[in-house]
A and B are shown apart, each in its own frame.
Chain A
Amino acid sequence: MLERRDVVAKLLKDRDNAVVISGLGSPTYDVAAVSPSDRNYYLWGAMGGAAMMGFGLALARADLHVIVITGDGEALMGMGSLATIGANQPGNLSIVVLDNEHYGETGMQQSHLGMGVDLCAVALACGFSQACSVTTEAELTTAASSFHETGITKFLQVKVSPESPPRVMPTRDAVENKITFLQALSADPVSLDTNKT
Chain B
Amino acid sequence: MSSINWQQAVYDVIKSGGIDLIGYVPDAGHATLINTAKADDAMHDVVMTTEEEGIPLCAGAWLGGMRSLLLMQSSGVGNCVNMLSLQRSARMPMVILVTMRGEYAEFNPWQIPMGSTTQAVLELCGFKVERVESEGEAAETVQAAIDFAFNSNVGVAVLLSQKMLGRKKWVE
Using CB atoms and an 8 Å cutoff, list the residues of chain A in contact with chain B. Answer: 21, 41, 43, 45-61, 64, 78, 80-81, 83-84, 87-88, 174-175, 177-178, 181-182, 185, 190-194, 196-197
Contact = CB atoms under 8 A, between A and B. Distances in A.
A57 B44 CA distance: 13
B167 to A, nearest CB: 31
A194 B150 CA distance: 8
Contacts of A88: 46
Contact of B90 (A59, A174, A192): A174
A185 to B, nearest CB: 7
A49 B55 contact: yes
Nearest to B86: A46
A47 B90 CA distance: 15
B19 to A, nearest CB: 10
A88 B64 CA distance: 18
Interface in B64-121: 64-68, 82-83, 85-86, 89-92
A174 B92 CA distance: 10
Interface of B: 18, 20-21, 44, 46-50, 52-68, 82-83, 85-86, 89-92, 150-151
A197 to B, nearest CB: 7
A174 B86 contact: yes
Contacts of A193: 18, 20, 65-67
B53 A46 contact: no
A60 B21 CA distance: 9
Contact of B85 (A46, A52, A54, A58): A46
A20 B50 CA distance: 24
Contact of B92 (A61, A81, A178): A178
A169 to B, nearest CB: 16
A177 B48 CA distance: 27
Nearest to B57: A56
